[in-house]
Amino acid sequence: MPSPVGHALGGLTAHFLIARGGDERASRPRVAVTVAASVAPDLDLLLRFVDGRNHHQGASHSVAAALVAAGAAALLARALGWARPMVFALAGGAGWASHLLLDYLSVDTSPPIGIPLLWPLAERYFKVPWPFFLDIGRTLDWHTVRHDALAVTWEVVLILPILLVTWWSRRGEA
């Protein structure tokens, strides 16, 4: 599964893909919501500290969770008095969905393998047969740190050009 760096770049790419015009592209709150939503599904890793069980790649890695994120972003925008809360709903949902896409396209070495994309409608885990991204280790030994540095570099090499092309192609839109 990609690192937070890869997920943040994916979220920023999603931001530029769905922004309608310069005002939305330049909106810092909208960027913040999209990028935060793009890394948020991995907060399920923290649940291990609560009960000692692996909750990663559970319900938070589903389309249903992306819809909940969209609703939460709209409620947050409304509570903070931001204009057009539905724009923030789209940002939150798109950011969350970018996380799902990158996880789907990644090597997964930690069971359960894949993501429960259609939870709760289906218990099946989905995984691309030919992954693009490396997995990220969760220990601090030298071998894992070196592997993770290579994985993050590879994420930047793959995602940054897509981000730049997306930004560049949309920059002239009013």
Q: Tell me the per-residue pLDDT of 92-103, one tens digit each, with 9 for 90 and over.
A: 999 999 999 999
Pair 108, 1: CB distance under 8 Å: yes
Q: By three-state DSSP, how is residue 48 classified? A: helix
Q: What is the mean pLDDT of each run of 10 residues along the chain (174 residues)?
A: 96 96 92 98 87 84 98 97 96 98 94 93 95 92 96 98 93 70
Q: What's the pTM value of the predicted model, to 2 decimals?
A: 0.93
Question: Half-sphere exposure of residue 120, counting CA atoms within 13 Å on the CB side?
Answer: 1
Which tokens sit at 53?
A: 């069980």
